[in-house]
Structure 1
Amino acid sequence: MNLQEIDSAKITILVDNITDRLLPSSSLVKRPPLVSNHKISRGPIAEHGFSIILEISYTHRNTVKRNKFLFDTGVSKDGIVNNSDVLGINLADIETIILSHGHFDHISGLISTLKRIKKPIEIIVHPEAFLRRWLVYPNGNRARMDLLNEREILQAGGIIRKIDKISFLPRSENKIKKKRSKMINKRVIITGAIPRVTDFEKGFPLQYKEEKNESDLVPDPLVKDDQALIMNVRKKGLIILTGCGHAGIINTIKFAKKVTDVRKIYCVIGGFHLSGHGYEESIPLTISELKREDPQYVVPCHCTGWKAANEIINKMPGKFIQPSVGSTFCF
């Protein structure tokens, strides 16, 4: 695919597992201040979920253009709204919402977000994100995962667009009527389902799906709706943005390089799902392959976990950047 270059990207973490009020700003990342007007400022909250705002800037016909997207909506109903208020972010400026997949820690703030936006807005999502899913543990414990509710989304002003294969991100204008936009933004790729080529990235083995009812569960470890965003920053290389990375961060990188024919990886940012029993075992191979891919920067968020992050710090010195809620990465 002919992915057009962008001049820059700003990525602001709205929801993540970590917040650290003491992190200093740098030329690459702006941290929210601890002190404002001689007082300790109100800080954002952390939770086991993920959401970011992506703003891209590019030049078109000698004019600088900008687009702003929301990628995922966190795990709680109001966490994303709370943090956007604390950080002074106007959610109504968002043009399109993209969901990385249908798990509860990425979708639960969607309705509150739509109500705050107060205008029709497109939601890009893989069709399998609407499956009825369960967590089933080896000891027999199980729990139904929260679902995306199409009716609620539509009533709250969402315009659902289901995309099941790689494509450029559909571009919606601020004024959307009930028909779908036919315009596309050739500067952002949404991967759709990502091919699985490694033998150590196992998806999500705890996941089952309902066939007919809750008594008829079948293994569904691949999380086929897991998708990522890809951008190409001029003179720097690819930015790859993941939600949980259930497809595997190495699979995702390999796919991004293949479809764009760009070899240089500038930054990999998002969840790599390497935390917890059944996933930590793949950390050594994953970090070894990540080191071979040689991104300039790695920002391991959300479900990556402390052990994997620590391994990145040790094995890839100078490449790790600490994520924290409220941080804005300027690439």
Structure 2
Amino acid sequence: MSGRIRILCDNSAGPLSGTLGEHGFAALIERDGESILFDTGGGLTLLHNAQRMNVDLRAVGQVVLSHGHYDHTGGLWPLLSTCGPKRVLAHPGVFTKRYSLREGVCRPIGIPFSEDFLAGLGASFSLGDAFREIAPGIFLTGEVPRSSGFEEGDAALFCDLAGCDSDRVPDDQSLVIVTEKGLLLLLGCCHAGVINTLELARLKTGIDQVYGVVGGCHLAFCSQQQIEETVKALKIAGVKKICAGHCTGFHASARLAREFGGGFRPAHVGYTIECD
């Protein structure tokens, strides 16, 4: 099987002329004639960057939503309006009300559109919380058990405007791609924890080797201890390649770069990784 992952949306843009960054994430998986869009960014750069990268989003057969935050779902409106109806895979909790309480201010951060509105634009939703194969050798994790003792999650996320109902983001899910070198994990924000997700991927596929991790690791909003424990666990797991972006954070990215050396790359807009 031959294929590649191309980063279409991220906080930072790479050297590819004319591409733009925004707070958000989207990646395109192209494999054996199939095109799967994983997340859609915040809505400001998806179509623009796709055009600059000569990507025809009309060819996308499935759209996978990692979770129901605006910076991963905001591009659904322009995508559907411009590129036609799409099958959209997500967790049943993707439309939950979401808020972030930082610096004393509570802000809405949930998906900015209703299910009915998106359905009216041509979205056909396939909602599920179980591990499932969505294409040959490509799996959606579904809801990820929180089993590691050190992945505490983001304490600033809530399901109410008053900041009383803590949000563990149970709808967080990732993609698992089987390659010749081992498993390749494609993460949106990975609120469930990188190591929790890695262990679920191993368990469900029966493949122990995890070759690489691509996307947002949500380490920008956690303790230094969690960063160190995550790096340690990734090394123990034998991960060879880390392509981190979006919510990974500067300090965590620097730590990963120091530990993995040439195996680390920033997952900026325009970056491509093979997934044969």
TM-score (norm 1): 0.79
Match of 2:40 in 1: 73
1:78 Cα deviation (Å)? Answer: 3.1
Match of 1:199 in 2: 149
Match of 1:302 in 2: 246
Give SS of 1:219's match. coil
Indicate whether 1:158 and 2:105 are aligned.
no
Alignment of 1:219-258 (within 5 A): 219-220=166-167, 222-234=168-180, 236-258=181-203
1:281 Cα deviation (Å)? Answer: 4.2
Distance 1:240 1:91, change over 3 A: same
Give SS of 2:129's match. coil
Match of 2:89 in 1: 124
Return the letter of the residue paired with 2:56: N
Q: Distance in 2 between matches of 1:307 and 1:320?
A: 14
1:186 Cα deviation (Å)? Answer: 4.1
Q: Distance in 1 between matches of 2:81 and 2:208?
A: 41
1:106 Cα deviation (Å)? Answer: 0.4
- In the alignment, is the contact (CA less than 8 A) between 2:241 and 2:260 conserved in 1? no
Match of 1:326 in 2: 270
Match of 2:105 in 1: 141
Return the letter of the residue paired with 1:89: V
1:129 Cα deviation (Å)? Answer: 1.1
Return the letter of the residue paired with 2:66: S
Q: Over residues 207-243 of structure 1, what are the superposed CA-to-partner deviations in whole Å (9 max), with x where a residue is unaligned? A: 1114xxx5694112x2100001111113x11111110
Q: Over residues 169-221 of structure 1, what are the superposed CA-to-partner deviations in whole Å (9 max), with x where a residue is unaligned? A: 1xxxxxxxxxxxxxxx34211011101111111122111114xxx5694112x
- In the alignment, is the contact (CA less than 8 A) between 1:204 and 1:223 conserved in 2? no
1:124 Cα deviation (Å)? Answer: 0.4
Q: Over residues 74-132 of structure 1, what are the superposed CA-to-partner deviations in whole Å (9 max), with x where a residue is unaligned? A: 02x331011111111111010000000001110111110111212x2100011111101
Match of 1:3 in 2: none
- Kindly name which structure, 1 or 2, has the bigger radius of gyration based on alpha carbons: 1
Q: Distance in 1 between matches of 2:115 and 2:25?
A: 21
Match of 1:29 in 2: none
Structure 1 residue runs of 5 or longer lacking an equivalent are 1-6, 22-31, 33-41, 58-65, 170-184
1:105 to 52, 66, 71: 71
Percent of pairs with identical residues: 31
Q: Distance in 2 between matches of 1:15 and 1:126?
A: 21
Match of 1:8 in 2: 2
Q: Over residues 18-67 of structure 1, what are the superposed CA-to-partner deviations in whole Å (9 max), with x where a residue is unaligned? A: 2231xxxxxxxxxx4xxxxxxxxx4100111100000122xxxxxxxx21
Indicate whether 1:189 and 2:144 are aligned.
no
Q: Distance in 2 between matches of 1:232 and 1:293?
A: 16
- In the alignment, is the contact (CA less than 8 A) between 2:13 and 2:269 conserved in 1? yes
Return the letter of the residue paired with 2:273: F
1:262 to 199, 207, 215: 207
